[in-house]
Amino acid sequence: MVNNTYTKIKEIREYARDNKVPIMNQEGIDFLTTFIIKHQIKNVLEIGTAIGYSAIMMSLCSPTLKVTTIERDEERYLEAIKNIKKLNLEDRITLIFNDALKTRVDGKYDLIFIDAAKAQNIKFFELFERNLNDGGFIITDNMYFHGLVKKSEKEIKSRNVRGIVRKIKDYIAFLKENDNYNTTIYDIGDGIAVSEKKTKGGA
């Protein structure tokens, strides 16, 4: 990364820290960007922009990569616009301000990155898989939900949090049972699921 770019990225990370915006951690973002380069991903559909950090990091993987990203929170969406302008990535990142569950997107993508409301993962998956190319990937962040998915229910005090953890476990079962995809969950960052769509009529 060029000096100037690095400083701007650092500022975005600091804003996230100061304003408690749950952007991907360093280990997670390293995994995601390495994955994009390794698999020569050309375009990404992201659910959950927040302030544009992961969209920007993905875009910086290749000078031709395009990202479409959806965010429902206005304050974060506006901050994402600012950050994307700051890095001159307006031509390559398309922001959609809406609830993803009410959004229909055109076109097909090599990678769909799900990083929004954790209890809705099955819905996001089922809604947006129509936008995935054959042989493409769906990557889901926070499969451990800050480590809580590995704990027993008794250890989790909040009923609300227990509910989310249960939904993530349902999502894990959903992915494992889904014969159209091969899913691996990596013990990286906050737990990252990679679901590879099987190619039709393949060997």
Residues that bind ligand SAH (CB under 6 A): 22-24, 48, 50, 53-54, 70-73, 76, 99-101, 115-117, 120
Dig out the tokens for 117 from the structure. 């409301």
Smallest distance from the beta carbon of 136 to ligand SAH, in angstroms? 18
Residue ranges in the chain assigned as alpha helix (H): 3-18, 26-38, 53-59, 74-86, 121-128, 159-177
Smallest distance from the beta carbon of 199 to ligand SAH, in angstroms? 28
Smallest distance from the beta carbon of 141 to Mg ion, in angstroms? 4
- CB proximity list for 34: less than 8 A, separation 6 or greater: none
The secondary structure of residue 149, as a DSSP letter, is G
The partner in contact with residue 50, picked from Mg ion, ligand SAH, none with C-beta cut-offs of 5 to 8 angstroms by kind, is: ligand SAH
Residue nearest to ligand SAH (CB): 48
Per-residue binding string, Mg ion, 57-96, x by CB under 5 A, is ----------------------------------------
Q: Which is nearer to Mg ion, 108 or 146 (CB)?
A: 146
Q: Report CA torsion sign: 126, 127, 128, 129.
A: positive
The partner in contact with residue 142, picked from ligand SAH, Mg ion, none with C-beta cut-offs of 5 to 8 angstroms by kind, is: Mg ion
Per-residue binding string, Mg ion, 115-154, x by CB under 5 A, is x-------------------------xx------------
d(CA 179, CA 198): 8
Could you tell me if 142 and 118 are in contact, meaning their C-beta atoms sit under 8 angstroms apart?
A: yes
Q: Which is nearer to Mg ion, 22 or 107 (CB)?
A: 22
The secondary structure of residue 189, as a DSSP letter, is T
Token pair 């992201």 in the structure block, residue: 46
For strand 66-71 and strand 93-97, is the pairing parallel, antiparallel, or unpaired? parallel
Q: Which is nearer to ligand SAH, 67 or 132 (CB)?
A: 67
Summarize as ranges the residues that interact with Mg ion (CB under 5 A): 115, 141-142
